[in-house]
Structures are given as C-alpha cells and as structure tokens.
C-alpha cells in the first residue's frame, strides 16, 4: 500500500513488527499545527542531546509536506547544527517556502526550542532527467548476508560502548570491517569504513520516507574513519564529537529497506574539526547518494 507523506492530512501508518523501526516511523510522523509549522518528538531512549540524524529526517519530512506543485524528489540538503537540542522537549520545525515549481522546489527548515534555533537546513527538490552519467565504482566488500549483525560486535564490549548498545536501533547495520572498538582492542588503524545499511523491516512506498530514513542513518559511522585513522575508538578513548554541518546529494531514487553500502573516509582533520565523506551504493553498484559531514572532534589523551 502506497502512502503519501506530502499529504498534510496524512499520518504514517506504522505496521512494522520491528520495535525500533516502529519508533523511527513515529519520530518521522510529525504533527502539523500550521501550514508551515510541524512538531517532532524525541524517542524514549534518551541521549545527551538530540541525535543529528533525527533532525535531518524530521526536517526532510517537514519540507516535503509543504510541496504544492508536482512532487519532485529530494535533490540535496545542506544542514547546520547550531546548538544541542533538549531531548526532554518537543522540536518545532518552521518551514520557509523559497520556490515552488513543477520540476523544482526549495525550502528552508529551522528547528527551534524555547525560541532558539537548534538547526537549520536548506532542502532542494528537483526532477531527475536524462543527461551525462558517470560514477565511481562500489568498493569490493562481502555481501551483508555474509556479515554478522551489529549485536555480535557488542559482545564483550557492552560496558565500553553502552551508549551504542542502549541506543535506538531502527537500522540494520553490517560492518564489512571491524568497528572502532574492535580495531582499538587489536591495535589497528584504518583510513576508511565500509558498512551495509537498511531499515530493520519494510518501509511504506513513499520515496520521501526512504530519503528521511537514509538521512537519519547517514549520521551514524560517518565520523568513524576520523578516529580509526589515529587508532582511537568511541567509548574506549576520551573523545568529544559534535556535528557542525551535514550535506547530502541524492543522485538516484532508491529504497532504504534494501541494502546499501555506506562507504566513508576522512580526507582531513584540522583545527579541532574533521570531515567524514561518504557514498551510499546500491547492491548492484549504482551510486545513489553522496554525503559530507564536518564535526567538532576533540581527543583528550590519558595523563602520563
């Protein structure tokens, strides 16, 4: 059954048997209180501040629900994170309409709490038309069915990576290389990261929901290669990381309840900031999406 997230009177029908995917769909099911104002909630699993992927996903849904002419797919987003969100309060998404055309549309979405800006994002919508085509090739890695689920990587590290163990898990993640904590334990370094991702269950057919779910997932693992380049790990080293900005370009339509390979690397870290660059490849090798994230990242070495 097809559901249209752009219908302002629509509420997402949540039918998944997977509890955490059910929760993600609830997070993306924004309440519309005015034509250009939406309210988003936080999950029961509390973190120190609002997860950046949640802001990206909810912001995309808010922007998409205001389309009035045609239904062009999302082409790009460019987001800036201004301050940490309070996970004990709802988030207001204010949408500004910059352009409405049949083949093009542009929106600005600002997330606010208590009158202060938390996050702002430009979203561009554009029809996909025939033209020149080329793309880099998908890295050679094992298929996801040959790789263990994320929970297998937690065994023996439950205390060190408790934040990840206790987090929301609506995305099925299969590492093609060891995660940061296993590499740290083995004394290894790695300048890239390869991980298969898809939602942990089926999604409704609406393309906007698949884009929103990918945006949510894109904020995970993208910074890993910054720290594994230096032999460091989340949960095992004193690290502080906070996203500064995040951009995505959607080259082709895809389903995010099918496997995609998220191949990331870090071209630079300097000035207490680092960049993670990534690409989502479909299983057949087609490049679907490109991602760049910049984050404030600090390492506090142990005192000698």
In the annotation, is 219 catalytic? yes
Q: With the CA atoms of 50, 53, 54 and 57 taken in that order, what torsion angle do they form, in degrees rounded to the nearest 10?
A: 150
CB atoms within 10 A of CB 119: 27
Cα 258 to Cα 217: distance, rounded to the nearest angstrom: 13
| Residue for token pair 């000698």 | 304
Write the DSSP symbol of residue 5: T
Distances (CA, A) of 172 to 155, 181, 196: 17, 19, 8
Catalytic choice (219, 224, 237, 257): 219
In 126-259, which residue ranges form alpha helices assigned H by DSSP? 150-154, 162-165, 180-186, 207-218, 224-228
Catalytic choice (120, 228, 243, 264): 243
**Phi, psi torsion values for 136, nearest 5 degrees:** -70, 160
**Token output for 77:** 């987003």
Q: What per-residue string of b and e applies to 57-93 under the rule 16 or more CB within 10 Å gives b? A: bbbbbbbbbbbeeeebbbbbbbbebeeebebeeebbb
**Token output for 198:** 């898809």
Length of the chain: 304
Spacing of C-alpha 111 from chain mean position: 16
What positions carry a catalytic annotation?
219, 243, 293
């Amino acid at each position: 059954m097809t559901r249209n997230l752009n219908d302002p009177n629509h509420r997402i029908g949540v039918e998944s048997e997977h509890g955490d995917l059910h929760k993600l769909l609830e997070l993306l099911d924004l309440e519309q209180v005015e034509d250009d104002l939406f309210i988003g909630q936080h999950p029961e699993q509390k973190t120190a501040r609002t997860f950046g992927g949640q802001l990206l996903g909810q912001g995309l849904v808010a922007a998409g629900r205001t389309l009035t002419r045609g239904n062009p797919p999302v082409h790009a987003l460019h987001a800036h994170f201004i301050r940490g969100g309070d996970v004990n309060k709802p988030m207001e998404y204010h949408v500004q309409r910059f352009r409405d055309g049949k083949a093009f549309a542009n929106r600005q979405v600002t997330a606010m709490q208590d009158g202060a800006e938390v996050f702002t994002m430009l979203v561009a919508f554009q029809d996909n038309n025939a033209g020149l085509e080329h793309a880099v090739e998908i890295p050679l890695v094992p298929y996801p069915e040959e790789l263990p689920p994320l929970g297998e990587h937690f065994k023996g590290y439950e205390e060190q990576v408790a934040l990840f163990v206790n987090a929301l898990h609506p995305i099925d993640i299969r590492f093609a290389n060891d995660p940061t904590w296993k590499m740290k334990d083995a004394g290894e370094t790695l300048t890239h990261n390869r991980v298969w991702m898809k939602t942990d269950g089926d999604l409704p057919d609406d393309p906007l929901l698949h884009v929103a779910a990918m945006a949510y997932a894109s904020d995970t693992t993208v910074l890993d290669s910054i720290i594994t380049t230096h032999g460091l790990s989340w949960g095992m080293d004193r690290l502080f990381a906070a996203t500064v900005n995040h951009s995505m370009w959607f080259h082709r339509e895809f389903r995010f309840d099918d496997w995609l390979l998220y191949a990331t690397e870090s071209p630079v870290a300097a000035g207490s900031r680092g960049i993670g660059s990534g690409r989502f490849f479909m299983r057949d090798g087609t490049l679907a999406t490109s991602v760049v994230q910049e984050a404030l990242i600090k390492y506090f070495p142990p005192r000698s």
